[in-house]
Structure 1
Amino acid sequence: MDIHQRNLAELGLRASAEVLQGRAAGATPATDAFKSNPTISPYNTGLNGVNQPVNMLFTDILWWSLGGVGFIMLLIRIGQLGWAQLRLVSAMSLKAKQQHFWKTRQWTWMPSLKRNIIYAPLWNKRHNREIRLSSAMNMGTLPSRLHAILLLGYVASNIAYMFVLDWENENKYALCAELRGRSGTLSVVSMIPLIIFAGRNNPLISLLNVSFDTYNLLHRWMGRISVIEVIIHSIAWAIVQVADDGWEGVKHKIIYDRFISSGTIGVVAMALLLIFSMSPVRHAFYESFLNTHIILALIAFICTWVHCISATVKGGLPQTPWVLAIMVIWAAERFARAIRLAYANRSSRGYTEAIVERMPGETCRVTMKLPRYLAIKPGQHAYLRFAGVNPWESHPFSIAWFEHHAADEECLPLSEKDILRIEKDSQKPISTTVSFLIGAHTGFTRKMYNAASASPHHRPITMRAAFEGPYGGHHSLDSYGHVVLFAGATGITHQISYIRHLIDGCNRGMVATRRVTLVWIVRESDQLEWLGIWMNHILKMDNRAEILRIKVFVTRPKVATESLSNSGSVQKLPGRPNVLTLLAKEVDEQMGAMCVTVCGPGGLADDVRDAVRKMQGHGTVLDFVEESFTW
């Protein structure tokens, strides 16, 4: 027997031994596979050739890595809360000039860390400004430098774990089987944080003070990784199957083998998810994408579960409990949404109704009368549905204004018993009214604006609606002596709720804030009507003139001098603001610790972020918060 024949014999003996081991473990390879080639057929099914101990080792390392990052962020969150509470308690009774300690007190390395890591874009200054391909398409946004570091670490670890294989194995089909097991395992591992990060009711949002926007970014990238890994998983199987039975064998298994057919359908669903989730497609057809995304994700989860339980291994594949956990988490989050929706919009007082008013600048002002009291904090948002406009869709909008009502003004007391009941409950809120500004773009928002515009004489229209929330609002500004709020167009909705809260808190001695500066950029003066009675209410608040400074910039005045106005603490100016110059002036007059927040178009947000970074290192405490809904 020559060397070549001896090697083939050794490979055959090795394959036979591994087949026997597979049978001992419960695996029952197809009979026709043995007729094809004993050095190939064992590696196209079950756990034959799969290095399960190493798979589980890398699984544990990935989960411990994610848990470690979460634990570090939790410690940072606890430290931030403790520091902010200490600052609030010590500064809320002090005058502006007495907060010098908190104005300058910070670690010497913190400004550099903020400038180069925490607030830094990936490069240059572009972060949330969309990369436009056309008027209808764009490539989305770029991650920040901190986000990029986290994503790079996760992607690099997945690549490293994927290819830690037995490369010395002479049987390439056994190597494909090992790759098949590794890629499939890693794909399902990524699905667990993927589904957690996608939820609006994700408990990590409030626990770690990380915005849903950030989790959505991580969700998108983990989804891409999971899909690529499951495609590698399929290719590794197909290589062995084609070598063993040809393409006819592949076709036969896809049609008649439940284990393979469920896996194939799941892979196709995930591949479609990847294609439809590409930024240009997602942004151009967002509403269609959202509904398709949910359906395809559900198909992928169910098929993955069927694939795992249909394996020839006794008890199914080891990943079966993980898939069940994924489906339970997904169902629990959906159930939580339904509960919040039902609770907020139905009570003995009736259902939620919305009054929609057409406003200048292709915008609607929506006021929702909720049938029960809901506690709402500044900076929160809610998901809205309207019976008359795509009721199956919900979209997030910042809460601009809210009022709590202590008694039902529409019901008059009919007896002495009713009078006593009303007096008893006069201090207890029983309902809430919330208001929003919704700009008309495409799809849902455009249909709403058209419906309001079609009303005779542009009178407000009333429709049944649903309020899901409130969400967000985890950034408290109470401990800052100086707050600067930048808003672009309807971004004012996020900022105006803070203004009322901070002025009222200052008057009651409950916050440290002594100066609030609002910079609002609008296209036309008519858009100032959006705020209406809300701004009138703010301007009449006690000590408002000492606390609040308002600078309104009109970028498209009808005539050159139309926007020029200066009435003490309120200024109306033409053109676009020089963000760096405005912020430098605020820093020169800084009172205590300062926080700069922005809500508006991506270009404005990037300008404010860049200005905050440039002002770091001037010897003062300067924090930055960006409110955005990137998708």
Structure 2
Amino acid sequence: MDMDMGSMSGMGGMDMSSTSMFTPANKRIAQIYWYLVAAAVGILVLTRMIDLLRLRLAQRQPGVIPFRPENLFAQTYDTMIAVCREISYPQIWTFTGKYSRFFTPPPLGRCLLLLIYWTVILTMLWSNTILGPSSANYAYRWEIVGFRAAWVSVTQLPLIYILSGKVNIISILTGISYERLNWLHRWVARTIFLTLIVHWSFFFREWDIAHFVKLEMDMMPMVKYGFGAWAVIGWVVLSGFGFFRSACYELWFLQHLIAAIVLLWLVYVHVPIYARYNVWSSVGVVVLDRLVRTLRTVVINCRLSPSRKGGNQIRRRRIGYDAEVKCLSSEFIHVTVRDVNFSWQPGQHIYLTIPRAGPFEAHPFTIANVSRLSSPQDKSDRLELYIRVHQGFTRRLYRLCQGSERTPTFLSFISGPWGVPTSIGRFESLILVATGNGASFTVPIFQQASMTTTHLRQISFIWIIPDSRHLAWFRDQLLSAAGSALLRNINVSVHVFVTRPGRDSNPQSLEGNPLLEHKYEINCPEAEAASEGPQGSKQAILSREPSTEKDFSHNGQEASSLWTSSASNDSPTIILGTGRPDLDTLIRPVVEEAFGETGIFACGGAQFTDSMRNYVASLSDERAVHKGTAAQGLYLFCETYGW
């Protein structure tokens, strides 16, 4: 980013004439860059406003189904959106090795966006900078590229810090949650690292030709700061790969934060005064983000007066919350934060700090229940988390409660809630698919949808778990949500698949199992048989032959039995089965019967969500959604756990 390096008697020193000659064009390039960023954000804002307008118009007209095209404009718009989704969803390669999985490329849509971004950067970098011998500025052929690369690099700097913040202007305007922009934050940083190589290598080549590399270093201390900035961003890029983040997240986060601050200082010292506005913009973004987050955290964790319930005062902490930690197994713990005084939306998450497990550590966890302020059925003011035990914070938390006869309670602090969940009011049909504790994401959405949505006609909830005991986590919530949906004439089906049933595969062993109420109906279906569920809808046969997580269908043996909770036709039912399901037989009927847009929400590991991406893209293309057929829109939202 040595933008003040000119030629001193043709030897690469400071020469204001060359600087003033290059600067106007480079400033225009910087302006064009931000115009393009603003245009991209503007397109996203426009689509968001159109969607909100269509949803409000549909809500004012009870007989109108949201996002079902009724005119030429809506049909054209929805066709364009369907094509964009089919292009953006597919995951071309998914690596599953212990180390190779960290090199899985982004989905196709993100790859195309990166290709467009790099095309813009390369155009900015090389336009009018490649000079021939006949050019009047041929003597500056190395410098002009070095200067241009410096401007292209430093101009991108504020975008890195914007994309890294939880409170950022892009999320506020577009409604895209900050964590879904983090991948772009990393790739912009990698792009800057490469353009910086172009910057210093062209200047270094000029110095080498003139044989005064050492003289340049001695005369211009700012050059050393420039190399320092490049080294820091190189380290940030290298350490930003998933392998390092997952190895020790706490240490990674600390060094990443320090490196981000040091980088701003090095760039500030290195660049000339007229380019420092990029540094100050970045500082402003960081300060705003940290200020809002700090104020929000203080307000949530500090309370001035005790609450009252039934005329009696309830003792509670004035600072922080009581968090009960319970060991569910060697792999999972359940955290219940009592007496919370804020609300949240399904799909949001918090950052939890428990000083006994890590005084300066805050880790993100998805909230597994609905807020009492948004759920008339839930009168308790608690917040629940289901956490998989890994290394570091979660392992220490597990050890604190391991072997305790009574559920221990710890002082805790909360930051959040964070995230911008997708509105489910737009969907006519809803499909929720989760693996393991991914149900922490889908169950609250199920609860909210069953109580509040007005146009929803059918819901399919699918949960894939390794152990039937996990069903106890959300049994009551699932039955309650299904009952609420049935009362509102919503066609609902709840499927739970146990992939490692063990002795649970024997129906007789379930007779005393408290996971479902009362008795069990035991059916022994043959191939092609089916069980009638609530509302008369057919339930797919469950396969017990295991398959890889990325496969949605197989030709294995049919399950030997099917179990449901004993209920009448208008009572909520949970259908249990063993093995991995053929998801196509569960998802396709809902999609084909939809009168409007279908929302598909999937939560699980990267391999599972990548498979969902490919499946939904293929299904949309196969049914020719909004391409002259009656097939309605498919919207996919993937929440991925892990790196």
TM-score (norm 2): 0.78
The answer for the alignment partner of 1:579 in structure 2 is 583
Q: 1:430 to 1:291 in 2, by over 3 A?
A: farther
Tell me whether 1:595 sits opposite 2:576 in the alignment: no
Deviation per CA, 1:313-349, whole angstroms, max 9, x where unpaired?
xxx2x21112111111112111222112111111124
Q: Distance in 2 between matches of 1:270 and 1:370?
A: 43
The answer for the alignment partner of 1:249 in structure 2 is 215
Contact 1:597 1:626 (8 Å CA) reproduced: yes
The answer for the alignment partner of 1:398 in structure 2 is 366
Contact 2:344 2:371 (8 Å CA) reproduced: no
Shift of 1:137: 6.2
Q: Distance in 2 between matches of 1:83 and 1:100?
A: 7
Q: Distance in 2 between matches of 1:227 and 1:179?
A: 16
The answer for the alignment partner of 1:183 in structure 2 is 149
Q: Distance in 1 between matches of 2:564 and 2:354?
A: 41
Q: Which of 126, 140, 143 is residue 163 of structure 1 equivalent to?
A: 126
Q: Distance in 2 between matches of 1:271 and 1:54?
A: 28
Pairing of 1:290-329 with structure 2 (within 5 A): 290-308=253-271, 311=272, 316=273, 318-329=274-285
Q: 1:279 to 1:43 in 2, by over 3 A?
A: farther
The answer for the alignment partner of 1:58 in structure 2 is 29
Shift of 1:431: 9.5
**Unmatched segments (≥5 aa) in structure 1:** 1-26, 407-426
Q: Distance in 2 between matches of 1:100 and 1:205?
A: 24
Q: Which of 47, 65, 80 is residue 76 of structure 1 equivalent to?
A: 47
Contact 1:400 1:497 (8 Å CA) reproduced: yes
Q: Which of 244, 247, 250 is residue 287 of structure 1 equivalent to?
A: 250
Deviation per CA, 1:337-371, whole angstroms, max 9, x where unpaired?
21121111111241222111111361111111355
Equivalent residue pairs, number: 553
Tell me whether 1:132 sits opposite 2:76 in the alignment: no
The answer for the alignment partner of 2:192 in structure 1 is 226
The answer for the alignment partner of 1:117 in structure 2 is 84
Shift of 1:187: 0.8
Shift of 1:55: 0.7
The answer for the alignment partner of 1:381 in structure 2 is 349
Contact 2:89 2:617 (8 Å CA) reproduced: no
Q: Distance in 2 between matches of 1:321 and 1:181?
A: 17
What one-letter code is carried by the residue in structure 2 that aligns with 1:72? I
Q: Which of 367, 370, 378 is residue 336 of structure 2 equivalent to?
A: 367
Q: 1:330 to 1:99 in 2, by over 3 A?
A: closer
Q: Distance in 1 between matches of 2:398 and 2:381?
A: 24
After alignment, is 190-199 or 257-266 more displaced?
Answer: 257-266
Contact 1:44 1:241 (8 Å CA) reproduced: no
Contact 1:599 1:626 (8 Å CA) reproduced: yes
Q: Which of 188, 192, 195 is residue 161 of structure 2 equivalent to?
A: 195
Q: 1:512 to 1:103 in 2, by over 3 A?
A: farther
Q: Distance in 2 between matches of 1:576 and 1:44?
A: 70
The answer for the alignment partner of 1:624 in structure 2 is 636
Shift of 1:492: 0.6
What one-letter code is carried by the residue in structure 1 that aligns with 2:295? I
More helix by share: 1
The answer for the alignment partner of 2:609 in structure 1 is 605
Shift of 1:524: 0.9
Q: Distance in 2 between matches of 1:119 and 1:283?
A: 31
Q: Distance in 2 between matches of 1:220 and 1:578?
A: 36
Shift of 1:583: 1.0
SS of residue in 1 equivalent to 2:349: strand
What one-letter code is carried by the residue in structure 1 that aligns with 2:171? I
Pairing of 1:137-536 with structure 2 (within 5 A): 138-164=101-127, 165-168=129-132, 174-244=140-210, 246-253=212-219, 257-308=220-271, 311=272, 316=273, 318-348=274-304, 349=306, 350=318, 351-360=320-329, 362-370=331-339, 373-404=341-372, 432-453=381-402, 455-457=403-405, 459-505=406-452, 511-531=454-474, 533-535=476-478
What one-letter code is carried by the residue in structure 2 that aligns with 1:374? F
The answer for the alignment partner of 2:496 in structure 1 is 552
What one-letter code is carried by the residue in structure 2 that aligns with 1:552? V
Give the number of the structure with larger relative contact order, counting CA–CA contacts within 8 Å between residues 6 or more apart.
1
Shift of 1:531: 2.3
Q: Distance in 1 between matches of 2:122 and 2:34?
A: 15
Shift of 1:43: 6.0
Q: Distance in 2 between matches of 1:430 and 1:585?
A: 36
Q: Distance in 1 between matches of 2:407 and 2:18?
A: 65
Deviation per CA, 1:503-547, whole angstroms, max 9, x where unpaired?
222xxxx52223221100101111112226544654664745953
What one-letter code is carried by the residue in structure 1 that aligns with 2:400? A
- When the two chains are superposed, the root-mean-square deviation of aligned CA atoms in Å is 3.4
SS of residue in 1 equivalent to 2:173: helix
Contact 2:167 2:178 (8 Å CA) reproduced: no
**Unmatched segments (≥5 aa) in structure 2:** 307-317, 508-560, 568-572
TM-score (norm 1): 0.79
Q: Distance in 2 between matches of 1:395 and 1:138?
A: 23
Q: Distance in 1 between matches of 2:388 and 2:5?
A: 61
Identity of aligned residues (%): 21
Deviation per CA, 1:539-584, whole angstroms, max 9, x where unpaired?
6647459533210011111144458412363100111111222111
Deviation per CA, 1:5-54, whole angstroms, max 9, x where unpaired?
xxxxxxxxxxxxxxxxxxxxxx899xxx96xxx22244689964861122
